[in-house]
Amino acid sequence: MERVILIGLAALVLSACGNKQFVKKPEQSQDQFRNDMNYCKGEALGAWDDRNGVSQINLRSQTSGQMSYEDCMLQMGYEQAR
């Protein structure tokens, strides 16, 4: 029983860390919004980096460095939920 409680608490803490919510764009479908979120999660994990380790968002914005999920969503024009 204690193990179940500890696992639940750990999941709750991890889900709250760095999990900022963003607002869907006007007239955007839920699928489009989910696709953008998944894309940005991939950017944060380096899934879309080219063979030189540069992300597509960095190429478009002419920036460098690791792209976080939050940075990616902001670069794509999303606003954080309040």
Q: How far apart, in whole angstroms, are the C-alpha atoms of residue 43 and residue 38? A: 9
Determine the pLDDT at residue 1. Answer: 59
Q: Is the dihedral of CA 21, 16, 14, 68 positive or negative?
A: positive
Number of H helices, E strands in the chain: 4, 2
Determine the pLDDT at residue 47. Answer: 78
Q: How far apart, in whole angstroms, are the C-alpha atoms of residue 41 and residue 7? A: 24
What are 21-47's pLDDT values in tens digits? 999 999 999 999 999 999 999 888 887
Chain centroid to CA 69: how far? 3
Determine the pLDDT at residue 14. Answer: 41
Domain positions in the chain: 21-80
The position carrying tokens 């309040």 is 82
Determine the pLDDT at residue 2. Answer: 60
